[in-house]
Structure 1
Amino acid sequence: MVSLFLSNEELGKKDDDHKPTKLPPIRAPQWNAARVPPRKTLKRLAIALAVAVFLYIFIKNIPNDLPIRDRRRPVYYTGQSDEGDLAAVPKHKPQAAKPNPHSPGGPKGGSGGSAAAERVPPSSGYNGAVRLPHLAVSLQAIYGTRGSWNANKNVMFAASSLKSAAALLPMACQMGTELRSYVHFALMGGSEISLDDLRTANGIDDSCEVIFHDARPDHPAASTDRRLGYSAERALYHINTYMHPQAVFADGSRTEDYFFLDALRSAAPPLQLSLIELPEGAPSRLGWMTKLDSASLAAWNKVSIDILIHAPPGGSGSLIRLLKSLSAADFTACAIPHLTIELPHKLDPPTAQFLETFRWPPADAYNPTHVQQLTLRHRIPRTSLTEEESSVRFLESFWPADPRHSHILVLSPQAELSPRFFHYLKYSVLEYLHSSAAVLQEWDSRLMGISLDLPSTLLDASEPFKAPSLRKNADPRSRPAGRLATEPSPFLWQAPNSNAVLYMGQKWIELHGLVSKVLELQHTTSQQLSPFFSKKLVSKRYPSWLEHALRLSRARGYWTLYPSQRTASNLAAVHIDLYRAPEEYAQEEEQQVARDISPAAVAEMALAAKSPPLLDSLPAGGNLMSFDDMPLLLWDGRSAVKLQDLDAEAADYAAEFRRAVGGCEALGPDELVPRRGSVRDLFCSREN
């Protein structure tokens, strides 16, 4: 470094010529000349000055077009790669902020950046980094809803368009007042309206029990559609992290912004969210959805229902009427069920002509994939079916891929359905199989089917059937004001049905197994079957497989849910004016039924002239009654005072069935407990 500061080569030369000559000492002078600063100090000062000038120029020209980074809130960049796609987002999961028990439920003001952020003029096509300035505050305030748990009571409505928000808020308010779930509403998109103004404009007050979240990015009005869609995906990601909503409702009509719906559809599957897109007019048509809890709504997209129709020979008129009523049904916000029609060998010309133009799903149903879900099966044998062949052909027509969520709706050709029938079925399935109360009380272990109609007679057709009245000790909420205790109510009956009934997937598997074992015994044993087994309790007006369904119901203590008389008249009707007996009993039964037909009976089976909204036809103000509050009937129509009465009857019947049919003579009392999901314990003569 010394040589660096030496510019004169003479300074470093050691030469005797430059040394002064020795002189005699003289007296030193009294004054000293001023000292010249060393050259090293001057050069150091020059370098320091140059560095200071450089720093000044750098600070003067530093970029200032980026907003101040707030480390409390997420910031994402929408930079594009060479291919034009959005830049990859870090995959790490953000750490939840410590909740503040005194935090408000959400911000009061509108959206927009912080005061220090850059001011972006509206409609400038802003595509900068995405910030969610208000979302963290409201998400931290909901710690009491157990949003960190995967299973909780949170459901969320989300909207981007203000028109969609106006359509969803009444449903969110109604669901909140039911107090079965924590209802949230997230506003996304590019509007700059404040949440207070949004609530005021839509008549939402504190009584609605809705928690609001401002999930809009900074500069919403100036942002591009792509930025808004990306911000919706990121908002949904953070909402799922801190809330874990069991279901997300969105407006699926054309009113909603397309980029918002695309963002929800792409983000929901990876997050395993149940996305429910509501059509136009949902509050009036799907008001029953607000009665469900979060556990039921979580299974909305999992439930699958198939429809099975067995057409008898010569029954073209009744089959065409049934198919027309199916085409007129309302499948709003529900997956269109697959339809299977079993045709006899001899097909009537009117039926063939109608099926040529019949389309399923209906033309006006929402079917974006345009997939046909109709299966026609035409039988080959010319001869009439026997009881055994009819039961086998019927049970082989369907198999549930997922026993918990796959179910089958069995329809008689004599049935006619109302436009609201499918809403009732899905409402009942979600409430009685997937709600928190159903899971806690294991209602699915008892429920064999859900009927749409009321039978006119007992199973043996020996006498008319009269529906029971509401139980005296029922929950008062099950009896709305103005209703009498003697008015017919929904009830549970051990007797199954074949006119219009939805069978649960697990019970269908058990019925399949029972028929398989029974037929095996019939073909392998050389002894005559027990009179207990051969005795027929179900009238020949019904198909032969219903006898096996009754045996299973009696052995297991299962029941079928039947609607009240008022509800049934708005769901389905079974016409006997064009009655056709099951093929296996056609020759001996049709004449008897024809003699029983009267004008009064025909009028009684007619559907209501105008189908009201579903909630208006239900007896408990739209709320489905608990099984504990419903009357319970044994298979022969006798009333069971307690559930123990049904269990005692089932235990006795199962023990008798094992001894008489299954060869289980040596079973002890501890072995009489039925195996859930199987009928192997009923048969001991063969390997299980």
Structure 2
Amino acid sequence: MRSPWAVARAPQRKTLKRVAIATVLLVIVFLFFSNIPTDVPIRYRRPGFIPGDGTNLRPPAPPRAMPGANKPLRAPNWGGKPKDATPKDRVSVPPGGYDGPIQFMTLGGSLSAISDTGGDSAINKNIVFAASSLQSVALLLPMACQMGAELRVYVHFALMSRSEMTMDEFRQVNGVDESCHIIFHDARPDHAADMSEVRFSKTVLRAMYHINYYVHPQAVIVDASSSESGLFIEAMRVQTRSMSVPLLELPESSAQQLGWMTKLDSASLAAWHKLNIDILIHAAPGTSGNLIRLLKSLAAADFSASPAPHLTIELPNKVDAATASFLDTFQWPPAGVYNPTNIRQLTLRHRIHHKGVTEEDSTIRFLESFWPTQPKTSHVLVLSPQVELSPWFFHYVKYTVLEYIHSTAAVTQQWDARLFGISLNLPSTQLDNIKPFTPPKSPKSASPTPDTSFFWQAPNSNAVLYTGQKWVELHAFASRLLETRQSPLPAIFTDKRVSKRFPSWLEHALKLCRARGYWTLYPSSMTARNLAVVHGELYRAPEEYEDELRPAAGDSRTGGRRKEGILAPGPLLDSLPGGGELPGFDDMALLAWDGRAMTLGEVDGMADKYAGELRRAIGGCERLTVRELGPRPDAGDLFCIGEEGV
């Protein structure tokens, strides 16, 4: 007979067994956490890294922009340098053969010390230089040091080389001190010296993934010359594309030419690849010598700042033999200019109309020659055949566009909304081509020498970049104004203020600038000599005025017949006052269309008065509300016809 206690003992033994197992597990867990090593390098658990070739990487959603992201920049306190660590478990493998797991020994230390830079915000002032070749490091460091010393951005430098040199040795060898204000990140993994090429590429991808998460750079700058590793460049292209961060690839021997980029802020550098600039040339009959000289100077220009822009040449009905022969062999982009798509960026338009051209015909033909694909970032550089350009003209164009349209100061102060164009030459006369023009001096300068950039309401037709947004508005304004030709207008709108020695469309541009209070940026005399010169020896009047302006023998008053200055090309930064830094908006004089010095308030008052007279002359403005009278890109607020669109 079984004991009645037999059933009761079984669960008691099971309970004791479970208690014993739980006790052992608790002891194991306690011992595990009590003996966790504290000197193990940081393993990145967040964000998780997805293995692969980098094409499927997606960065975490960017945090909301913090209010303090745009506060005044100061030299940050990094709180000491992270100690360089050397892995203790190195194994002997053939060079280039190690392909083990990737561990960053010191990257975590530098990334955790940059909270002052606003790296947790998607919009900040962080710029990253990155290099794997020590030769590229030597090329990039002077530029990074100069950019850091400007204190407009926070400069980070990521080292991804195979070298075993410590970061202290690296800084010492390259002569980097605290005055550079560079934040260094050692993005080398363990076994860097003997890792395989596949592991090297993965290291670049992974390092940039983590840097992006903690830094959120507005742009990444690398050396794309033969000094840098092709694997590194390709990996950087893949990862920055995945991160939606612009990659600025500096071409061979570009340090001196692109020194101006160290003066830009992070917002300008972030817009580096957004710009799209077209060149537009209207060739008049019988100007083959001028046109050929202009095209030769264009072909000799340096386009290391960007791919060569698209070029459109409007040819007259009669093309002389010299021009036709030259265009047969003219190559654009020029040989040797970076052209990754290998697309011919040249458009030739040959006009059919062979009779006399009216003012209206000329204006319409000119304004129909270009249309911006994206008005905010697409601009047109209008060149007269009389112009000869410096090799560095395009650097100035890009520099000024990035600073005066895309910089934080331009956007927050809304000065970019007033900018109608950027001129490359300095006129010697006013728009009537009679009164001499004397450039103003800076309002904050005690020097009597007027050698500074300035704003002038008078537009230009020789060598000037017009912004896409203003071109759209000018197109609409001229279209509406031409429609009113059937109605009588007051003399204020019919009297010509622009000499007939300039093309007729310039009169429409002046009217728009007067109604809106827009202005054109003009360079200092020193800078102008380094950008463009207008030759008057073979001057030809615009076709619409050619019959009226046939000069008598010895007449020297024919629009720019004089030679306006002498082209003296040299390094761009050397020709800019103040060591190459572009003056601020408040540091430049402001001139009315007739050359008088004005304050901003006076210009606004004149614009309101002129626009009001224009509205009354056209009629119908009493039907519009105050909101409808606000500036509109289609100029409907000025002509009061209430139509939508352009």
Identify the TM-score tier after normalising by the shorter chain: 0.7 to 0.9
Aligned to 2:416: 444
Aligned-partner Cα distance in 1 for 2:165–2:301: 39
User: Which residue type is aligned with residue 392 of structure 2?
Assistant: R
Aligned to 1:565: 525
Aligned to 2:494: 534
Aligned to 1:582: 542
**After the TM superposition, which of the residue ranges 87-96 and 450-459 deviates more from structure 2?**
87-96
1:681 aligns with 2:641: no
Aligned-partner Cα distance in 1 for 2:380–2:578: 27
Aligned to 1:57: none
User: Which residue type is aligned with residue 681 of structure 1?
Assistant: D
Counterparts in 2 of 1:602 and 1:363: CA distance versus 1, 3 Å: same
Aligned-partner Cα distance in 1 for 2:130–2:112: 18
Counterparts in 2 of 1:218 and 1:76: CA distance versus 1, 3 Å: farther
Aligned to 1:421: 393
Per-residue CA shift, 1:359-410, capped at 9, x if unaligned?
Answer: 1111021223321100000111111321111111111111111111111000
Aligned-partner Cα distance in 2 for 1:333–1:87: 28
What displacement does 1:70 show?
5.9
User: Which residue type is aligned with residue 348 of structure 1?
Assistant: D
Aligned to 1:222: 194
**After the TM superposition, which of the residue ranges 587-596 and 418-427 deviates more from structure 2?**
587-596
Aligned-partner Cα distance in 2 for 1:636–1:279: 44
2:483 paired residue among 520, 524, 527: 520
For these two proteins, the number of residue pairs brought into alignment is 594
1:658 paired residue among 604, 610, 615: 615
Aligned to 1:29: none
Structure 2 matches for 1:204-283, cutoff 5 A? 204-283=176-255
Counterparts in 2 of 1:245 and 1:593: CA distance versus 1, 3 Å: farther
Counterparts in 2 of 1:102 and 1:508: CA distance versus 1, 3 Å: closer
User: Which residue type is aligned with residue 114 of structure 2?
Assistant: I
User: Which residue type is aligned with residue 272 of structure 2?
Assistant: W
Counterparts in 2 of 1:584 and 1:139: CA distance versus 1, 3 Å: same
Aligned to 2:318: 346
What displacement does 1:510 show?
0.3
1:201 paired residue among 173, 189, 197: 173
Aligned-partner Cα distance in 2 for 1:321–1:296: 33
Aligned to 2:574: 616
SS in 1 for 2:91: coil
User: Which residue type is aligned with residue 444 of structure 1?
Assistant: D
Structure 2 matches for 1:392-471, cutoff 5 A? 392-471=364-443
What displacement does 1:127 show?
1.2
2:59, 2:242 within 8 Å by CA — same for their partners in 1? no
Counterparts in 2 of 1:70 and 1:171: CA distance versus 1, 3 Å: closer
Aligned-partner Cα distance in 2 for 1:318–1:340: 16
Per-residue CA shift, 1:79-131, capped at 9, x if unaligned?
Answer: 8xxxxx759988785999xxxx9985553436x53x2x352435051112222
Counterparts in 2 of 1:485 and 1:76: CA distance versus 1, 3 Å: same
What displacement does 1:634 show?
0.5
User: Which residue type is aligned with residue 139 of structure 1?
Assistant: L
What displacement does 1:299 show?
0.4
Aligned to 1:493: 456
Aligned-partner Cα distance in 1 for 2:392–2:407: 21
What displacement does 1:226 show?
1.6
Aligned-partner Cα distance in 2 for 1:606–1:465: 17
1:493, 1:633 within 8 Å by CA — same for their partners in 2? yes
Aligned-partner Cα distance in 2 for 1:372–1:564: 35
Aligned-partner Cα distance in 1 for 2:586–2:57: 51
Q: Over alpha carbons, which structure has the higher Rg? A: 1
Aligned to 1:191: 163
Aligned-partner Cα distance in 1 for 2:54–2:298: 48
Per-residue CA shift, 1:310-347, capped at 9, x if unaligned?
Answer: 00001000000000000111111312111000001100
SS in 2 for 1:537: coil
1:470, 1:486 within 8 Å by CA — same for their partners in 2? no
Aligned to 1:307: 279
2:84 paired residue among 109, 125, 132: 109
Structure 2 matches for 1:137-216, cutoff 5 A? 137-216=109-188
User: Which residue type is aligned with residue 674 of structure 1?
Assistant: G
Give the unaligned 5+ runs of structure 1: 1-67, 80-84
Per-residue CA shift, 1:501-526, capped at 9, x if unaligned?
Answer: 0001100000000111122233xx4x
Counterparts in 2 of 1:444 and 1:455: CA distance versus 1, 3 Å: same
Aligned-partner Cα distance in 2 for 1:265–1:91: 14
What displacement does 1:133 show?
2.1
User: Which residue type is aligned with residue 226 of structure 1?
Assistant: V
Per-residue CA shift, 1:209-268, capped at 9, x if unaligned?
Answer: 000001111111111112111110111111111101111110010100110000011111
Aligned-partner Cα distance in 2 for 1:174–1:182: 12
Per-residue CA shift, 1:255-298, capped at 9, x if unaligned?
Answer: 00110000011111121111101122222111111111111100
Aligned to 1:636: 594
Aligned-partner Cα distance in 2 for 1:666–1:273: 49
What displacement does 1:198 show?
1.3
Counterparts in 2 of 1:409 and 1:89: CA distance versus 1, 3 Å: closer
> Alignment identity in percent?
55
What displacement does 1:534 show?
2.0
What displacement does 1:76 show?
9.0
SS in 1 for 2:130: strand
**After the TM superposition, which of the residue ranges 442-451 and 328-337 deviates more from structure 2?**
328-337
2:534, 2:563 within 8 Å by CA — same for their partners in 1? no
Aligned to 1:377: 349
SS in 2 for 1:306: strand
Aligned to 1:28: none
Counterparts in 2 of 1:665 and 1:558: CA distance versus 1, 3 Å: same
Counterparts in 2 of 1:95 and 1:446: CA distance versus 1, 3 Å: closer
Counterparts in 2 of 1:131 and 1:253: CA distance versus 1, 3 Å: same
Aligned-partner Cα distance in 1 for 2:276–2:201: 31
Aligned-partner Cα distance in 2 for 1:625–1:343: 38
SS in 2 for 1:130: coil
1:108, 1:196 within 8 Å by CA — same for their partners in 2? no
What displacement does 1:438 show?
0.8
**After the TM superposition, which of the residue ranges 586-595 and 461-470 deviates more from structure 2?**
586-595
SS in 2 for 1:502: strand
SS in 2 for 1:270: helix
Give the unaligned 5+ runs of structure 2: 1-39, 64-75
Aligned to 2:606: 649
**After the TM superposition, which of the residue ranges 270-279 and 309-318 deviates more from structure 2?**
270-279
1:548 paired residue among 477, 491, 508: 508
1:108, 1:194 within 8 Å by CA — same for their partners in 2? no
Per-residue CA shift, 1:502-557, capped at 9, x if unaligned?
Answer: 001100000000111122233xx4x4344333211110111110000001000000
Aligned-partner Cα distance in 2 for 1:199–1:317: 55
User: Which residue type is aligned with residue 82 of structure 2?
Assistant: P
Aligned to 2:20: none
Aligned-partner Cα distance in 1 for 2:221–2:610: 47
Aligned to 1:32: none
